[in-house]
């Protein structure tokens, strides 16, 4: 096999990476599809039995709105119970705060914060539910679910910052069609979802997370005005403040109780206004208070824990209710319930089981709420005579159930092509015998069909016997029970089911990824063989560990296997950080053992060689390993992380309990240390060129500015959206950007060709090198890469100091120390480790650091608050980039520091072919640094793709495995970017220096 040339290597690598990206995108679009939704919107056809030929009568859309409204009422047979709706959304309010948990009342502090709401609940004027939200618990998908009843695709999270108009059938569209006037105050997400639907609106941005006061005042300031008007039918109030409070201070923030008090005042104001208007005969108004998602203990959301999915649905305006109710519903149930309450067709793609709350009117005197789970209890109440329904009410109830079943059946028909009762209305010869049997436990399709048929048959028989008082009661209850059974199983199936995935697309994506992994791995294997076996005769004089298969290599390889196998367990995905910490500290211990070996070897031989310098080297390396071990241990203890044991003590909790001044002082010390380490490295370079001075000066200035920002503005309990802070941060961004890019571009041009070395390596240039040195500026390349590497590291550190939460400043320092210790250790260890082992170890270090900064595999730990630092106007792209920088701080840090590592690594031992061109030399330096992370990343990516495919029917596929997959994809992107930067820097510096060398007069 012909040896790889530099061009060939880079071309094949690029091909491999591009293939991988293509395969990944195939897979992602195949696996996270937008659900097959039914197009168009429900019209009057939803009040008829599902037609067999799907030809819907579109004539009603042309009707004027008031005619449409009355036609709906006529067809549905259920007069609306209310005339107007006020939908108040309190963003991020967990139901636990209002209703308590597990039958216990809420926390005393929260209970006292909402006296009015609590009194309404106690007196039965309000009914509260725990509405279970589906992950991802982020605002936009949750709003969509509430108004359409459909569970959105998983990728809606990704679009959360890029809201688009909602195309699917939804409640607001239905209301608009029957001529409702709508007013929206609050989160401008609504305006983006429903452009042009609102008569009046005042949108507030959800992007300034630090603002907790103004954001709600902007909603409430219109409230008195709107409530006195009677020209609207739907009023939406979306309060964001509580979510912002959570993001800043968590559930137990000092601002939480006042914020809840404020919400309570709003409820009181609205309710008294409703009572007044009801007195004036302005129609009945329903006030519904919902929250879109909950929040974790730290105030984040996005995942699927109980704390995040536990949302509130509170109905106020019912005059009375007679019995207690099952208090847990699904969030998607809100849509069909509202649709039936207000007499509009149920949205087409609704999966909700439409009857969590259905109000029957009893003589207009009081309303009885029939709740799904308590239906048997209601029946028993009826039997005992406490409650009687007229035939009329029973009819309405069953009719509503029927409408609901039709809607779900339509959806089932669209999603299940093999549904046996698909053509039921047409195929009259469908086997009715099966419906008689009570055990409907066949395949999904058969079961759903069977349940539906049973319910329909019972309803028909009830209708036929309606006149006769005798059997009617029993028929009614069995019909209703049958309907509930069907609705429940259909709804569960629809909301849980993994949608039909395009198998071909998935297979193609997986195969492409597999091919790219094979390409990259074989490329690396070739390189390995060329370097370590191609020149066996030369390497005989080297340490024998170079040729053998040593313990650390085996370990590094087995890490990949361990990771892949542990990722198949959902618990191990949730608690992935343990495995990383464990493996990386084991690797450090192996390094310690290796150092001990060489240390004693030196002692052993010292009598022959008396090389004191080398024995000191051994002690230095020992110190570095100890530094790695201790800083790794502290990093491990910094954030508890994970999902299940987050409450265990850790250093960050301990510091936060100790008080903010301790956090602040620690932050300042760490920031100062980080900056001084970086500046020390830059200032210890002996060269005195103008360019160097510029680089030093700009980093010094930006370091000072960062310190200024920390002392002056970074106060993390209260808002700081002021102009000065933003301006300062923007100035820092600008200086950092100019300094880094400037040094990358300019340094290769201005670095002096001299004999003095900048880069502090123990580079004992071998005879091989000396010959090459004449035609190739190796030392200069290393020197410039060394300075550029430091510029990257310092720039990244300063950015992180600015963006990360104050508590994460010390981990940044520790990470920097780890990188330095690792680089110095490997630079001094020379031939003891193979280069790919070292780079793989760096990659693992980066992943362990990723978790040490408090990241987990749930979407909840992404730091949203930091993503708006220094952004003056709302920009999705910029916030997204900042969020990426914060989340992938550690892996990116490692990849950037590879530039420094390359410059410091002793390459003297590498066997260079006799006829080595300069390109080969570049390949020698950059080859592994680029290949190893790409190979590891592609193996993990492909393996995890397989895991995700295997787990697609797992219970936790959407809550555990899919978020993890998003993280894996983002890690892949991070690796591509980092490797691109490393490679581009290396190539650029090399070509510039080569050009200068060939034309020395131009310098």
Judged by CB under 8 A, which stretch of 212-220, 275-283, 456-464, 571-579 contacts another protein? Answer: 571-579
Map tokens 């191609």 to a residue: 534
Are 632 and 847 in contact, with CB atoms under 8 Å apart? no
Sole binder of another protein in the list 275, 320, 547, 571 (CB under 8 A): 571
Cis geometry, peptide bond prior to residue 642 (ω within 30 degrees of 0): no
| Residue 609 found at the interface with another protein (CB under 8 A) | no
For residue 185, is it left (φ>0), alpha (ψ between -120 and 50) or beta? beta
> Is residue 561 a contact residue for another protein (CB under 8 A)?
no
Q: Binding-site residue total for another protein (CB under 8 A)? A: 29
The CA distance from 313 to 146, in Å, is 11
Q: 360 pairs with which residues across the strands?
A: 368
Q: Is 693 in the site for another protein (CB under 8 A)?
A: no
Report the distance separating Cα 324 and Cα 409, nearest Å.
31
Q: Does 593 bind another protein (CB under 8 A)?
A: yes
Minimum gap (Å) between residue 660 Cβ and another protein: 23
Which region among 496-504, 630-638, 668-676, 700-708 touches another protein (by CB under 8 A)? Answer: 630-638
Burial class of residue 281 (count of CB atoms within 10 Å of its CB; 0-12, 13-18, 19+): exposed
Say whether residue 597 binds another protein (CB under 8 A). Answer: yes
- The residue among 507, 495, 197 whose CA lies nearest residue 350 is 495
Per CB under 8 A, the list member of 91, 575, 838, 863 interacting with another protein is 575
Strand partners, 94: 311
200 binds another protein (CB under 8 A): no
Q: Please, which residues have CB within 8 angstroms of residue 556's CB and are 6 or more apart in sequence? A: 587, 837, 840, 841, 844
Q: How far is the CB of 616 from another protein (least distance, A)?
A: 17
Q: Which residues pair with 85 in a beta bridge?
A: 234, 286
Residue 187 or 574 having the CB closest to another protein:
574
Which of 604, 680, 723, 1001 touches another protein (CB under 8 A)? Answer: 604
Contact stretch for another protein (CB under 8 A) within 50-58, 159-167, 255-263, 626-634: 626-634
DSSP 3-state of 311: strand
CA distances from 593 to 18, 544, 587, 596, 601 (A): 40, 16, 10, 5, 12
> Which residues in the 969-998 window bind another protein by CB under 8 A?
none
- Are 974 and 847 in contact, with CB atoms under 8 Å apart? no
Q: Which tokens go with 93?
A: 């309010």
- Report the distance separating Cα 1000 and Cα 664, nearest Å: 53
Among 61, 65, 586, 693, binds another protein (CB under 8 A): 586
Residue closer to another protein by CB (options 294, 632) is: 632
Question: Contact with another protein (CB under 8 A): which of 173, 303, 356, 632?
Answer: 632
Q: Which is nearer to another protein, 208 or 581 (CB)?
A: 581
Q: For another protein, which is the closer residue by CB, 426 or 551?
A: 551
Give the H or E element holding residue 942.
helix 918-950
Contact with another protein (CB under 8 A): which of 48, 525, 582, 683?
582
Binding range to another protein, per CB under 8 A, among 204-212, 284-292, 580-588, 870-878: 580-588
Query: For the chain, how far is it from start to end, CA to CA, in angstroms?
Result: 41
From residue 163, alpha-carbon distances to 188, 238, 790, 865, 995 in Å are: 10, 16, 40, 19, 50
Cβ nearer to another protein, comparing 626 with 884: 626
According to CB under 8 A, which one of 322, 572, 750, 973 is a site residue for another protein? 572
Minimum distance of another protein from residue 587's CB (angstroms): 11
Q: In whole angstroms, how close is the CB of 361 to another protein at the nearest point?
A: 47
CB atoms within 10 A of CB 686: 9
Under 8 Å CB-to-CB from 356, ≥6 apart: which residues? 129, 329, 330, 333, 334, 337, 371, 372
Candidate residues 65, 70, 217, 600; the one interacting with another protein per rule CB under 8 A: 600
How far is 325 from 407, CA to CA, in rounded Å? 25
- Report the distance separating Cα 728 and Cα 704, nearest Å: 11
Instruction: Output the six-digit token pair for 770.
Output: 């000396």
Tokens of 190: 């609504």
Q: Which of residues 411-430 bind another protein (CB under 8 A)?
A: none
Residue 252 DSSP one-character state: T
Of 630 and 687, which has the nearer Cβ to another protein?
A: 630
> Does residue number 585 form part of the binding site for another protein (CB under 8 A)?
yes
Q: How far apart are CA 795 and CA 675, in angstroms?
A: 10
Residue 549 found at the interface with another protein (CB under 8 A): no
Give the span between the Cα atoms of 150 and 143, in whole angstroms: 10
* Beta carbon nearer to another protein, 88 or 625: 625
* Distance in Å, CB of 674 to another protein, minimum: 24
The residue among 550 and 763 lying less far from another protein, judged by its C-beta, is: 550
Nearest C-alpha neighbor of 583 from the set 936, 114, 245: 936
**Residue 792 and residue 695: Cα distance in Å, rounded?**
12
Q: How far is the CB of 631 from another protein (least distance, A)?
A: 11
Please report, as residue ranges, which positions from 635 to 674 form the binding site for another protein (by CB under 8 A).
636-637, 642, 644-645, 648
616 is a site residue for another protein (CB under 8 A): no
The per-type count for the chain, helices as H runs and strands as E runs, is 36, 10
Choose one: 634-642, 704-712, 808-816, 892-900; the region binding another protein (CB under 8 A). 634-642
Stretch near another protein under the rule CB under 8 A, chosen from 15-23, 150-158, 631-639, 716-724 = 631-639
- Could you say which of 169, 187, 333, 574 contacts another protein (CB under 8 A)? 574
Q: Tell whether residue 578 is a contact of another protein (CB under 8 A).
A: yes
Residue 623 Cβ vs another protein, minimum distance, rounded to whole Å: 15
User: In which element (H, E) is residue 185 found?
Assistant: strand 182-187
CB within 8 Å of 794: residues ≥ 6 apart: 678, 679, 681, 682, 699, 703
Which of 629, 725, 801, 902 touches another protein (CB under 8 A)?
A: 629
- Of 603, 662, 712, 773, the residue at the interface with another protein (CB under 8 A) is 603
Nearer to another protein by C-beta: 250 or 637?
A: 637
Kindly tell me which residue out of 25, 164, 276, 569 binds another protein, with binding defined by CB under 8 A.
Answer: 569
Residue nearer to another protein on the CB measure, 633 or 997: 633
State the nearest-atom distance from the C-beta of 611 to another protein, in Å.
18
Binding span for another protein by CB under 8 A among 30-38, 282-290, 504-512, 570-578: 570-578
822 near another protein, rule: CB under 8 A? no
Q: Segment near another protein (CB under 8 A), from 426-434, 633-641, 676-684, 703-711?
A: 633-641
Phi first, then psi: what are they for 140, rounded to 5°?
A: -60, -50
The reply on whether position 783 binds another protein by CB under 8 A is no
Nearer to another protein, 955 or 995 (CB): 955
How long, in residues, is the chain?
1003
Is there a contact between 185 and 236 (Cβ–Cβ < 8 Å)? yes
Q: Is 128 exposed, middle or buried (0-12, 13-18, 19+ CB in 10 A)?
A: buried
3-state SS, residue 237: strand
Q: What residues make contact with another protein under the rule CB under 8 A?
A: 569, 571-572, 574-575, 578-579, 581-582, 585-586, 588-589, 593, 596-597, 600-601, 603-604, 629, 632-633, 636-637, 642, 644-645, 648
């Amino acid at each position: 096999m012909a040896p790889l040339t530099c061009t060939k290597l880079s071309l094949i690598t690029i091909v491999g990476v591009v293939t991988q990206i293509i395969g990944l995108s195939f897979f992602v679009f195949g696996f996270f599809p937008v659900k097959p939704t039914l197009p168009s919107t429900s019209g009057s056809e939803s009040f008829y039995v599902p037609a067999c030929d799907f030809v819907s009568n579109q004539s009603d859309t042309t009707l004027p709105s008031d005619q449409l409204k009355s036609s709906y009422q006529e067809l549905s047979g259920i007069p609306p119970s209310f005339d107007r709706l006020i939908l108040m959304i309190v963003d991020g309010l967990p139901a636990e705060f209002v209703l308590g948990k597990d039958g216990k009342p809420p926390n005393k502090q929260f209970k006292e914060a909402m006296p009015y709401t609590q009194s309404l609940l106690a007196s039965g004027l309000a009914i509260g539910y725990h509405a279970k939200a589906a992950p991802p618990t982020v605002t936009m998908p949750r709003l969509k679910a509430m108004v359409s009843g459909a569970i959105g695709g998983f990728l809606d999270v990704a679009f959360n910052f890029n809201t688009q108009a909602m195309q699917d059938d939804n409640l607001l569209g239905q209301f608009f069609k029957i001529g409702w006037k709508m007013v929206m105050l609050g989160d401008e997400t609504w305006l983006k979802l429903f452009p042009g639907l609102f008569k009046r609106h005042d949108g507030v941005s959800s992007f300034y997370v630090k603002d907790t006061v103004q954001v709600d005042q902007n909603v409430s300031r219109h409230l008195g005005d709107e409530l006195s008007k009677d020209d609207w039918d739907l009023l939406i109030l979306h309060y964001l403040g509580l979510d912002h409070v959570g993001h800043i201070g968590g559930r137990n923030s000092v601002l939480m109780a006042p914020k809840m008090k404020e919400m309570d005042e709003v409820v009181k104001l609205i309710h008294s206004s409703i009572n007044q208007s009801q007195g004036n005969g302005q129609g009945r108004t329903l006030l519904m208070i919902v929250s879109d998602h909950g929040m974790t203990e730290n105030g984040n959301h996005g995942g699927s824990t109980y704390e995040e999915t536990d949302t509130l649905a509170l109905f106020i305006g019912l005059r009375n209710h007679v019995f207690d109710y099952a208090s847990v519903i699904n969030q998607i149930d809100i849509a069909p319930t509202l649709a039936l309450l207000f007499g509009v067709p149920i949205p087409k793609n609704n999966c909700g089981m439409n009857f969590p709350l259905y109000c029957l009117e009893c003589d207009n005197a009081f309303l009885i709420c029939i709740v799904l789970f308590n239906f048997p209890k209601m029946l028993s109440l009826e039997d005992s005579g406490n409650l009687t329904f007229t035939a009329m009410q029973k009819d309405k109830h069953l009719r509503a159930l029927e409408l609901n079943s039709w809607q779900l059946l339509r959806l089932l028909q669209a999603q299940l092509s093999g549904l046996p009762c698909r053509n039921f209305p047409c195929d009259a010869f469908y086997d009715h015998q099966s419906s008689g049997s009570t055990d409907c436990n066949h395949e999904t399709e058969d079961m759903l069909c069977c349940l539906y048929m049973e319910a329909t048959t019972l309803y028909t028989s009830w209708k036929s016997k309606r006149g006769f008082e005798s059997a009617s009661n029993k028929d009614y209850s069995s019909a209703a029970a049958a309907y509930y059974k069907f609705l429940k199983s259909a709804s569960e199936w629809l909301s849980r089911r993994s949608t039909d995935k395009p198998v071909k697309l998935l297979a193609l994506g997986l195969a492409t990824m597999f091919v790219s992994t094979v390409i990259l791995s074989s490329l690396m294997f070739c390189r390995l063989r060329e370097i370590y076996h191609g020149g066996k005769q030369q390497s005989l004089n080297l340490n024998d560990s170079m040729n053998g298969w040593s313990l650390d290599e085996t370990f590094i390889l087995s890490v990949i296997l361990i990771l892949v196998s542990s990722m198949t367990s959902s618990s191990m995905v949730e608690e992935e950080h343990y495995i990383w910490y464990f493996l990386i500290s084991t690797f450090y211990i192996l390094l310690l053992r290796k150092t001990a070996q060489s240390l004693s070897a030196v002692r052993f031989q010292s009598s022959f060689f008396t090389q004191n310098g080398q024995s000191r080297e051994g002690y230095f390396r020992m110190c570095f390993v100890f530094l790695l071990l201790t800083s790794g241990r502290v990093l491990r203890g910094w954030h508890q992380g994970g999902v299940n044991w987050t409450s265990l003590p850790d250093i960050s909790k301990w510091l936060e309990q100790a008080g903010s001044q301790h956090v602040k002082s620690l932050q300042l010390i760490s920031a100062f240390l980080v900056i001084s380490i970086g500046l020390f490295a830059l200032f210890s370079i002996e060269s005195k060129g103008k360019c160097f001075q510029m680089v030093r000066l700009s980093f010094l200035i930006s370091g000072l500015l960062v310190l200024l920002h920390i002392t002056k503005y970074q106060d993390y309990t209260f808002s700081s959206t002021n102009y000065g802070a933003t301006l300062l941060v923007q100035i820092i961004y600008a200086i950092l950007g100019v300094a880094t890019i400037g040094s990358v571009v300019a340094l290769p041009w201005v670095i002096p060709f001299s004999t003095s070395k900048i880069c502090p390596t123990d580079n004992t240039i071998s005879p091989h090198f000396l010959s090459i040195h004449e035609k190739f500026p190796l030392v200069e390349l290393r020197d410039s890469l060394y300075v550029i590497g430091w510029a990257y590291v310092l720039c990244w550190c300063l950015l992180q100091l600015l963006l990360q939460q104050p508590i994460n400043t010390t981990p940044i320092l520790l990470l920097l120390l780890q990188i330095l210790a690792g680089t110095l250790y490997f630079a001094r260890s020379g031939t003891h480790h193979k280069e790919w082992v070292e780079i793989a170890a760096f990659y693992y270090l980066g992943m362990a650091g990723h978790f040490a900064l408090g990241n987990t595999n749930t979407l909840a730990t992404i730091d949203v608050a930091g993503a708006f630092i220094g952004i003056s106007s709302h920009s999705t792209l910029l916030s997204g980039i900042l969020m990426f920088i914060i989340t992938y701080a550690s892996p990116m840090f490692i990849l950037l520091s590879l530039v420094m590592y390359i410059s410091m690594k002793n390459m003297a031992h590498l066997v260079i072919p006799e006829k080595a061109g300069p390109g080969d030399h570049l390949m020698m330096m950059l080859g592994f640094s680029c290949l190893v992370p790409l190979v590891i990343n592609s193996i993990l990516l492909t393996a995890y793709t397989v895991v995700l495919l295997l787990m697609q029917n797992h219970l936790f596929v959407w809550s555990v495995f899919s978020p993890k997959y998003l993280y894996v994809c983002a890690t892949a992107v991070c690796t591509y970017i980092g490797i691109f930067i490393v490679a581009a820097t290396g190539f650029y510096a090399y070509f510039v220096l080569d050009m200068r060398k060939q034309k020395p007069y131009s310098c």
